Amino acid sequence: MRYWNPIYIVRDVYRHNALLKQAALREIRTSYRGSILGIGWAVIVPIVRMAIYTFVFGFIFKGRFTSDGSEGAIEYALGIFLGLTVFQVVADGFGIGPSVILNNANLVKKVVFPLELLPVAAASVSIFNFLIGILLTFIALLVLGIGVSVTQLWYPVIAFPILMLSLGLYWVFSGLGVFLRDIGQMTQLLSMLLLFGSAVFYPVSSIPE
């Protein structure tokens, strides 16, 4: 039962922290290996995505989170981008988690390897992209002249439990994926339900009672 105890899991992860750093760096580098721009895609993709959201949702659909007209298209687009950044780091736990151990069968079967590190290493890619997205959001707020409020400076504190939730999903679904091969298809539907049910594109006030 010790492997189901989070205290033992955290202890083992800390004990193998050097191995975890190497595994996490390998996962991040593998994600961009073979591409011409390499890790530069981690910045280019979010910027292009932000521009698309601004044009489609801000100017074409004229969506807003506020009803008093005080919010512009740029603010609305940044709100969507920030919401999707948070959503993606959680959704990766659903989508990538079930295949983490299956994709590292060589480490599981042939080498004495601490299995609890595999989900953490895989989650490092999602967390890395999440941090890039947050950094781009703050840069956009400054460049566009919107500014950063004191409330927004609390965002790293608010984001910490979200990252822990994502890591927990990686751990849970990586284990389930070994025994339930259908879990990957099920989590895709769950991720879609989470996307449209989490009010990323619309204000909560627009949901009928």
- 159 CB neighbour count, 10 Å cutoff: 17
Q: Quick: pLDDT tens for 90-140.
A: 988 888 888 888 887 777 776 677 777 888 888 888 898 899 988 888 888
pLDDT at residue 9, rounded to an integer? 66
pLDDT at residue 47, rounded to an integer? 83
Q: Which residues contact 40 (CB under 8 A, 6 or more apart)?
A: none
Whether residue 78 is predicted with pLDDT greater than 60 in this model: the reply is yes
| Residue burial 167-198, b: 16+ Cβ < 10 Å; e: rest | bebbbebbbbbbeeeebbeebeeebeeebeee
| Domain spans in the chain, listed from the N-terminal domain onward | 2-201
- Which of 54, 61, 103 shows the shortest CA–CA distance to 79? 54
- Which of 188, 180, 178 shows the shortest CA–CA distance to 102? 178
Give the integer Cα–Cα distance in Å for 83 and 86.
Answer: 5
- 13 CB neighbour count, 10 Å cutoff: 17
- Is the Cβ–Cβ distance between 53 and 80 less than 8 Å? yes
- Which pTM was predicted? 0.80
Backbone angles phi, psi at 186, to 5 degrees: -65, -40
> 182 or 3: whose pLDDT is higher?
182
- Which of 178, 134, 172 shows the shortest CA–CA distance to 3? 172
Q: Name the 3-class secondary structure at 185.
A: helix
Task: Copy the structure tokens of residue 184.
Answer: 């990957």
- Is the Cβ–Cβ distance between 76 and 90 less than 8 Å? no
Amino acid at 40: G
pLDDT at residue 189, rounded to an integer? 84
